Structure 1
Amino acid sequence: MTTEPRTESDHAPPLAGAKEWTALAVLSLPAMLVIMDLTVLHLAVPELSAELTPSASQLLWITDIYGFLIAGFLITMGSLGDRIGRRKLLLIGAAAFGLASVLSAYASSAEMLIAARALMGIAGATLMPSTLSLIRNMFHDDRQRTKAISLWMMSFMVGGSIGPLVGGALLEAFWWGSVFLVGVPVMVLLLIAGPILLPEYRDPSAGRLDLLSAVLLLAGVLPIIYGIKKLAEDGFGWPLVAAIAVGLAFAVLFVRRQRSLDDPLIDVELFRNRAFGATLGVMMTATFAMMGLNLFVMQYLQLVHGLSPFRAGLWVLPMTGAMMIGMMVVPALAGRFRPGHVIAGGLLVSAAGIAVMTQVDGSSGFGVLIAGTCVMAAGFTPPAALGTDLVVSAAPPAKAGAASAASETSNEFGGALGLAILGSVGTAVYRSGMSDSLPAELPGDAADAAGDTLAGATAAAAQLPGDVGGPLLSAAQAAFTDGLQAVAVVAAAIALAGAVLAAVLLRRVGVPGPAVAVAPGVQAEEAAVR
């Protein structure tokens, strides 16, 4: 028996019933899977490289094209879902993602794997905005919607945490392609349960999708993301700066075209609404700090404390647990305080956790690091969950798909910038610390590698006698720890800046969802497209 939505009064928004909460569980699975697929491939790289023998350029595209195309197609797919139906797009994307996963698992050449991963990226771009926009339309009550989005966000965290663990277990028992097959049963479940549990929503007044806008957006996002990512990996280079500049030029053309269209991919006037534009900025700031710092945390666990990737992944679980607790607390806080205050308070907590991480050292920093990451993660849950709720609720219900995609795209850019800028800070500190620590006996190539990264120093130390390699490794680990401390200082300052922005810019923003506080008109619009 299906529990129908019930209402508290004639003027209150309808409350979701058992069917909607069950549907939420189904919608959380593809969201979790998309994040898992961003992590599991890196574990499989050694085995697939041995079997497919890709060139350096091909290996780069194998690892990166999935994330690039997700970022490039998010807004286009969100807008497409508003037009053709969010459930329809979700099911099409699920079928394509499952097919691409099978093709990736059984790829017989590097070219085939690149093509399959590209298809996975395009299909993955349909999943996140479709699931989030469906949640926006299924949960009209403010508190229920905040709780639902918090649970949906939790699925991302779980996916990011268990991805390395699941991937590592599969690689120990099966071949490299097995890491891609995890998603197939999830997509089959979605294809079966989706038509039963998920209602259909679309904008009945939407026009045709503007293909030129989609091309301009892709031409803007891809060079920017690529340039930022490669700057983080390879350091400064004029070709990368040129790529970012080209992307920004196309982004400007995209915005100008949106202003001239009657039915744009995304209404750029939404960014004037503080609940939308300012919240996106605060969310990007939070993602910037957390993603940039997490890069150094994982390297510290593996290269300073010598943990295997699997064991390092296990020590991420306490942080995930802290985020899950935070996600459960956010709805209660949102019911008592203004969103801006909750988000600002969360970022202050995060800044305190990051400040703890500035005390990490090479010999006794393990416990300090884990404690700091847990506090940091718990504090980042309000901007993640409540910020997403604010952004999605600020847009009209018919445009929820595009708004959901804008939320995800801002996180992509925030993470990429965090990796690039904070990565550069940590690398600069490491190289400065190693400038006088390289032994004279070290060959030129090995000296360059050791002075560049901790991984290079670890490899060089393994080839040297113990009386030389030991001090080199100790110096490299100390220099890396100094870099981690410096990154933590900058990340704490960024989190504090985000808290100030939230407190100032969002101080007058009310509880999410005023547009659906009086539901009958919205219900009539949605009923017309079911």
Structure 2
Amino acid sequence: TTVSWRAALLSVAPLLLVSILIVCYEIPKRAGPKGEPRSFDQIGATLTALFGTSSLLFLVNLSNQSNNRFISVFSIAISVLSLITLLIHESRCSNPLFQLKQLRKRSFLVPTGINWIVQLVYGGMIFLNMQYLQLVVGLSAFKAALLVVAATLVWILCSSLSGVLSKTIGSYRLAMLGLITASIGYGLIGFAGVSPNPFVLTVGFILSGSAGIEPAIMVHGVLASYDEDQRSFGASLNAMVMRYGLSTGIALSGLVLSTNLSSMMNETLSRMGESMKLNATGSIGGAFRVAESLPENERNTLISSAKLAFVDGYRDFYVLAIALYMVAFFILLLQSRGGRRWTSYIGSQFSKLSPFR
């Protein structure tokens, strides 16, 4: 199609307006602890939405700063100002949207952060996988969908069984196992190349579905950190974090992909006009459309270059995903009983060696 990935992402802006209208006019008054009427924090909700959309707009435009410098500067400025204003407002509001004391609880920060990481990676996978399978590997829509459905089924199965399994082997151990298994799957997918081995690619997609363990376990940990009368809001905030993580993953994967297309295809596009260069480096689909207007030799060269550049960006995204999962793994390791004993032992050994003891 002629719709760029930036336009596709920005097309959800009308939904933001609808959401704001629902918040302002449809959400009923909340009851306080003693049944007294308590108004909804509309200012906090608006500032939160403004921060989310402006930060995503900044990420979307990072890939083409020369033509969108004003938008990039404006969006990051709005993002920072709205976040600062939100924190100040919430600290002074009598009925805040978010209680800042939650930020002092590791039981809130750890599962929320890990949930955001998992959703970020999942958002990037949604954006990149079908393009890779169909435009690079050359699979039909049906075969590509089978691989994605296999990963989704494993995700659902792992999420459904996580409650039972966590009682058997422990929630932290199960979550760490899910991160390791999914990372192995990401490695098999990300390094598959232009002509992947079908069996290895299938195993990679199946293993990637084990990341479904994380949201199920982390949501329970997040809600447990809230007071009883705040847990319904905690569920809403967790859903918002998940959606923001998905959107960030889509924007970030688009940025990685566009950067690789621009850097690796300069030589191939050196003799083309600026408009053709912009179209060819915006997405792999754009490169294919530009190639259709070229002579056969140049067309094949451009298509090959686009596929190699896409695979390079695809690999970079999955390397980033594995790195983020390893960070999450070590955070969970340090939060576990064994991890706390280990860090306590290391700290005691360092204290013995300290000259200031």
TM-score computed with the length of structure 2 as normaliser: 0.80
Instruction: Tell me if 1:462 matches 2:292.
Output: yes
Q: Equivalent residue for 2:342? A: none
Q: Distance in 1 between matches of 2:222 and 2:17?
A: 23
Please, which of 477, 481, 484 is the counterpart of residue 314 of structure 2? 484
Q: Distance in 1 between matches of 2:173 and 2:70?
A: 42
Is the 1:231–1:240 Cα contact (8 Å) retained in structure 2?
Answer: yes
* Cα pair distance change 1:295/1:216, threshold 3 Å: closer
The CA deviation at 1:259 is 2.1
The CA deviation at 1:329 is 2.4
Q: Distance in 2 between matches of 1:65 and 1:208?
A: 26
Q: Equivalent residue for 1:137? A: none
1:340-419 to structure 2, matched below 5 A, reads 340-364=172-196, 366-378=198-210, 380-419=211-250
Q: Equivalent residue for 2:351? A: none
Q: Deviations over 1:73-123 (max 9, x none)?
A: 99x69xx578269xxxxxxxxxxxxxxxxxxxxxxxxxxxxxxxxxxxxxx
TM-score computed with the length of structure 1 as normaliser: 0.56
Q: Equivalent residue for 1:221? A: 52
1:469-508 to structure 2, matched below 5 A, reads 469-505=299-335
Instruction: Tell me if 1:257 matches 2:92.
Output: no
1:517-528 to structure 2, matched below 5 A, reads none
* Cα pair distance change 1:244/1:337, threshold 3 Å: farther
The CA deviation at 1:490 is 1.5
* Cα pair distance change 1:71/1:370, threshold 3 Å: farther
Unaligned runs of 5+ in 2: 340-357
Q: Distance in 1 between matches of 2:281 and 2:94?
A: 56
Q: Deviations over 1:411-458 (max 9, x none)?
A: 223223323334323332232222223474x55533442244321221
* Cα pair distance change 1:508/1:249, threshold 3 Å: farther
Is the 1:395–1:403 Cα contact (8 Å) retained in structure 2?
Answer: yes
The CA deviation at 1:277 is 2.0
Q: Equivalent residue for 2:30? A: 83
* Cα pair distance change 1:221/1:426, threshold 3 Å: closer
Q: Deviations over 1:281-329 (max 9, x none)?
A: 1111122223223322121122213456565434311111111221232
Q: Equivalent residue for 1:328? A: 160
Q: Distance in 2 between matches of 1:431 and 1:391?
A: 40
| Percent identity over paired residues | 20
Q: Distance in 1 between matches of 2:195 and 2:265?
A: 18
One-letter code of the match for 1:285? I
Q: Distance in 2 between matches of 1:316 and 1:388?
A: 24
Q: Equivalent residue for 2:35? A: 204
1:15-26 to structure 2, matched below 5 A, reads none
Q: Equivalent residue for 1:65? A: 13
One-letter code of the match for 1:323? W
Is the 1:287–1:411 Cα contact (8 Å) retained in structure 2?
Answer: yes
Q: Distance in 2 between matches of 1:257 and 1:508?
A: 40
Q: Equivalent residue for 1:434? A: 265
Q: 3-state SS of the aligned residue for 1:336? A: helix
* Cα pair distance change 1:461/1:347, threshold 3 Å: same
One-letter code of the match for 1:63? S
* Matched positions, count: 335
Q: Distance in 2 between matches of 1:365 and 1:234?
A: 38
The CA deviation at 1:496 is 0.9
One-letter code of the match for 1:65? A
- What's the RMSD between the two structures over aligned residues? 3.5
1:414-425 to structure 2, matched below 5 A, reads 414-425=245-256
